[in-house]
């Protein structure tokens, strides 16, 4: 590209075009006006989505990144605009989501003076970004952006933040852009050690009761086919974490369900019977392990992981295979012997039968008059032939979604895992829909979380995003209420939402169609009407107030102490 002098603000936009960015989620403000002025001339090359709140735009960028695998990009102004991004950045950091966030900043001569709408974004975001940088000179723009995109999407992905002073946006530079492919001292991916692969293969070949735990690292690494090939060769049952959902088809015969506090009975109970645990792209989160001192004591642990910091952080590893899971799984598959574990898998099937009778049947085929979360979620999945993308908010319904929605394709489940951010669902569904415009996207929220970002109905309406929005309404903060019921003698302290609004009237105020269902005989037709509707639609479903989520591993308990009922 021929060198020419341009303002730093235009260099930002041209840099994004060079990085093949097609969508920006943003909200303008005083410290970002020069960048927005430059964007005005390039709106035929980059689409900008104006959200209704900065938290909405950062979650939207997150949802976009999860379904596409590309970095989500967002803009916010200085001061309160920038600090409103913090929750979303922390959410992305914990869930390893690639994002590049841009914030405006006061002029460099005003830094540190407590100027109007000044905040120390570099200091604030240092613990919750993979990398951050403050641009104070226009000539720093191209190099900083190239570096940001390289860091965000290589190795273990994560959010990066670039803070740009106003004078850097307005000053001139000689324009030239070179993509970043290498940074000194930054080693995003360790070469796979064949000796470790062979050591692991011997353990796997001698295992009688092996169990594979798959996390989001399988999806991030694009290792879905390699995972399936590995388990089919070895006959090893596989259980997924919350963020590992959709990496393997739900109906695959070796998929034994979800791990964790509200996961399936078999993979939780039998973890402590396994003699080998193969963890792929997961970090042994406390919601998976329960009481660490009693976790998988009979098993040798093989950990396939791209981030060395996760090795031995929580669970002691016998063999660690560092590197990208796509490469390490290929090598491990070549090294292991063909095998089957029919008797071991039968133990999971027996657990499934117990769980079905004690939990699942009541959730999806209830005999009580009130509607359950499970029957609503399963119906949505079945009516779309398990082809849809599910975007979940946080709470009881999040666990029910994970248990009863089924998946055929990878990158079909979007949920806040590590941070557990209420209000995530609705704005994340905007990014998911824009990242996968040809697929049906469900946004499922509780009445509490939905109200945290309800204003994004305006963004959905303005952009005519055909999201199918389901509100599961029990007039409670359901997950906290469940804990209060089970462990605090039903002392429902400030968890009842006594005065929820008329959600359908609010939706119609934004020009979005909707309906409310409180009877089982009306659910099927209402669900079909929502799916068939050409455009966004809100379906509010009244749920039993004490509709709880089981199985449940109580906090601090062993995974084998999983409860099937109160």
pLDDT tens, 211-263? 999 999 999 999 999 999 999 999 999 999 999 999 999 999 999 999 999 99
pLDDT at residue 138 is higher than 60:
yes
Residue 137: Cβ within 10 Å count: 13
Q: How far is CA 365 from CA 126, 379, 403, 557, in A?
A: 48, 11, 14, 30
Q: Which residues pair with 23 in a beta bridge?
A: 47
Measured CA to CA, the distance from residue 149 to residue 183 in angstroms comes to 12
Measured CA to CA, the distance from residue 43 to residue 495 in angstroms comes to 45
Q: 238 by DSSP, 3-state: which?
A: strand
Token pair in block for residue 209? 């009761």
pLDDT at residue 2 is higher than 80:
no
Nearest to 198 by CA among 17, 33, 296, 333: 333
pLDDT at residue 3 is higher than 80:
no
Q: Which residues are CB-neighbours of 186 under 8 A, at least 6 positions away?
A: 151
Q: Which residues are CB-neighbours of 130 under 8 A, at least 6 positions away?
A: 93, 151, 152, 157, 158, 159, 160
Phi, psi of 538 (to 5 degrees): -110, 125
pLDDT of residue 483: 86
Nearest to 106 by CA among 30, 166, 168: 166
Measured CA to CA, the distance from residue 277 to residue 409 in angstroms comes to 25
Nearest to 88 by CA among 536, 325, 422, 463: 422
Q: 282 by DSSP, 3-state: which?
A: coil
pLDDT tens, 274-318? 999 999 999 999 989 999 999 999 999 999 999 999 999 999 999
Arithmetic mean of pLDDT over the chain: 96
Residue 409: Cβ within 10 Å count: 15
User: What is the pTM (predicted TM-score) of this model?
Assistant: 0.96
pLDDT of residue 233: 98
- Greatest alpha-carbon pair distance for the chain in Å reads 72
pLDDT of residue 368: 86
pLDDT tens, 18-30? 999 999 999 999 9
The arithmetic mean of pLDDT across residues 337-345, rounded, is: 97
Nearest to 543 by CA among 513, 528, 566, 523: 523
pLDDT tens, 379-398? 999 999 999 999 999 999 99
- Given a contact cutoff of 8 angstroms between Cβ atoms, the answer to whether 247 and 227 are in contact is yes
Nearest to 96 by CA among 159, 33, 47: 159
Measured CA to CA, the distance from residue 197 to residue 435 in angstroms comes to 36
Measured CA to CA, the distance from residue 350 to residue 272 in angstroms comes to 16
pLDDT at residue 545 is higher than 90:
no
Nearest to 125 by CA among 96, 150, 166, 88: 88
Helix (H) or strand (E) holding 542: strand 537-542
- Given a contact cutoff of 8 angstroms between Cβ atoms, the answer to whether 152 and 122 are in contact is no
The arithmetic mean of pLDDT across residues 127-145, rounded, is: 98
Q: Give the residue numbers marked as catalytic.
A: 54, 116-117, 166, 479
Measured CA to CA, the distance from residue 409 to residue 558 in angstroms comes to 32
- The CA-based angle 320-324-330, given to 5 degrees, is 85
The arithmetic mean of pLDDT across residues 541-550, rounded, is: 90
Phi, psi of 534 (to 5 degrees): -90, 85
Q: 388 by DSSP, 3-state: which?
A: coil
Q: Which residue has the higher pLDDT, 495 or 200?
A: 200
Token pair in block for residue 389? 């993308």
Q: How far is CA 29 from CA 33, 124, 134, 165, 289, in A?
A: 6, 20, 18, 13, 44
Residue whose structure tokens are 């970095």 = 71
pLDDT at residue 511 is higher than 70:
yes
Nearest to 102 by CA among 132, 68, 76: 76
Q: Which residues are CB-neighbours of 16 under 8 A, at least 6 positions away?
A: 24, 46, 73, 145
pLDDT at residue 441 is higher than 60:
yes
pLDDT of residue 501: 95
- Given a contact cutoff of 8 angstroms between Cβ atoms, the answer to whether 206 and 234 are in contact is no
Q: Which residue has the higher pLDDT, 169 or 556?
A: 169
pLDDT of residue 547: 85
Residue 289: Cβ within 10 Å count: 20
pLDDT at residue 1 is higher than 50:
no
Measured CA to CA, the distance from residue 76 to residue 88 in angstroms comes to 12
pLDDT of residue 498: 85
Handedness of CA 472, 474, 475, 478 (dihedral sign): negative
């Amino acid at each position: 590209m021929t060198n020419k002098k341009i303002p730093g603000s235009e260099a930002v936009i041209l840099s994004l075009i060079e990085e093949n960015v097609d969508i920006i989620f943003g909200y303008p403000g005083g410290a970002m006006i020069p960048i927005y002025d430059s964007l005005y001339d390039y709106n035929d090359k980059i689409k900008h989505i104006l959200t209704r709140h900065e938290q909405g735009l950062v979650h939207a960028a997150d949802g976009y990144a999860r379904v596409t695998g590309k970095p989500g990009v967002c803009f916010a102004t200085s001061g309160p605009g920038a600090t409103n991004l913090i929750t979303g950045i922390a959410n992305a950091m914990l869930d390893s989501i690639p994002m590049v966030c841009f914030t405006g900043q006061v002029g460099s001569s005003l830094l540190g003076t407590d100027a109007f709408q000044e905040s120390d974004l570099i200091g604030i975001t240092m613990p919750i970004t993979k990398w951050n940088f403050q641009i104070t000179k226009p000539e720093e723009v191209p190099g900083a952006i190239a570096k940001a995109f390289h860091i965000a999407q290589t190795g273990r992905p994560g959010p990066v933040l670039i803070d740009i002073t106003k004078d850097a946006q307005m000053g001139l530079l000689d324009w030239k852009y070179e993509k970043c492919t290498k940074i000194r001292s930054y080693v995003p991916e360790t070469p796979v050690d064949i000796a470790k692969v062979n050591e692991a293969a011997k353990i796997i070949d001698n295992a009688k009761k092996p169990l594979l735990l798959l996390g989001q690292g399988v999806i991030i690494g694009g290792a879905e086919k390699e995972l399936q090939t590995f388990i089919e060769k070895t006959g090893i049952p596989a259980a997924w974490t919350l963020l590992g959902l959709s990496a393997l088809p739900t109906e695959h015969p070796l998929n034994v369900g979800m791990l964790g506090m509200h996961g399936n009975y078999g993979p939780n109970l039998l973890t402590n019977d396994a003699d080998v645990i193969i963890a792929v792209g997961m970090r042994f989160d406390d919601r998976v392990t329960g009481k660490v001192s009693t976790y998988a004591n009979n098993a040798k642990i093989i950990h396939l992981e791209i981030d060395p910091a996760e090795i031995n952080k929580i669970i002691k590893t016998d063999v660690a295979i560092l590197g990208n899971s796509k490469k390490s799984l290929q090598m491990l598959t070549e090294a292991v012997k063909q095998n089957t574990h029919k008797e071991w898998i039968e133990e999971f099937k027996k657990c499934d039968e117990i769980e079905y009778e004690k939990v699942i049947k009541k959730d999806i085929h209830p005999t009580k008059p009130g509607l359950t979360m499970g029957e609503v979620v399963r119906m949505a999945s079945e009516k779309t032939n398990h082809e849809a993308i599910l975007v979940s908010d946080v709470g009881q319904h999040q666990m029910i979604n994970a248990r009863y929605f089924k998946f055929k394709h990878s990158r079909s489940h979007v949920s806040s895992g590590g941070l557990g951010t209420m209000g995530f669902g609705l704005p994340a569904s905007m990014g998911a829909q824009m990242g996968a415009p040809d697929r049906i996207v469900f946004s499922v929220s509780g009445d509490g979380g939905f109200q945290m970002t309800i204003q994004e109905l305006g963004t959905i309406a303005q952009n005519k995003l055909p999201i199918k929005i389901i509100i599961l309404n029990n007039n409670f903060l359901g997950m906290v209420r469940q804990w209060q019921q089970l462990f605090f003698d039903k002392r429902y302290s400030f968890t009842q939402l006594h005065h929820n609004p008329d959600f359908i009237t609010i939706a119609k105020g934004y020009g979005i169609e909707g309906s409310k269902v409180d009877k089982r005989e009306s659910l099927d037709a209402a669900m079909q009407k929502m799916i068939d509707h050409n455009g966004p639609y809100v379906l509010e479903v009244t749920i039993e107030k004490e509709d709880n989520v089981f199985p449940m591993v109580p906090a601090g308990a062993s995974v084998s102490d999983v409860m099937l009922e109160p």
